Amino acid sequence: MMTTRRFFGPVAAFGLLVGGSFIVTSLLFLAAGRGVVLDQRLGNVLSCLLVIGSFFGVKKLRDDRAGGIISYGKAFAAGFKIILVATALYAGYTFILYSARPGLVEEYRAVITATLAQVYGDTPLRALVEEVFADSLSPAFIAVEELIGKLLTGTFFTLVVAAILRRTVAPTPNV
């Protein structure tokens, strides 16, 4: 029987590892002079890291801690916890980064404004949405957006990872 302590140990470790890899990747993008503000390439790399981290975290839990048997629900819960820890760590980093570099908030605002101009043109809805963003855009808002966005993306991937890794019968040893 798997206890809570045994269940959370590798989950927290992989969550911290994935969150740390998010931060290192973002710092590498910054050091290379690439954008981190709503950058699609950075988002794709972080999604890859999210899938790989949750896959290996759940696999390690199943193989090393659960005797090779894990239900879909426990696999999903473990993957979700990995993603929750990773995204919380990255959201904290995002808040610190955007607070330390106010120019990033203005760059974020410019990207949002350009996107709204493409999507809505010169409509009253565009003016309304821009007004809402002008009043609420802050490092905290951006950090919460990162948290929610990555959490939703990660949850979707975890549904698949849990289905792949679930096992109800212990594997037979190779003799």
For the chain, give every domain's residue range. 8-165
3-state secondary structure of 32: coil
Higher pLDDT, 69 or 139: 139
pLDDT tens string 101-151: 989 999 998 888 888 889 888 888 888 888 888 778 999 999 999 999 999
- Residue 125: count of CB within 10 angstroms of its CB: 11
CA-CA distance, 76 to 155, in Å (whole number)? 9
Identify residue 85 by its one-letter amino acid code: V
Higher pLDDT, 95 or 123: 95
Q: The whole model's pTM is what?
A: 0.86
Strands (E), 1-113: none
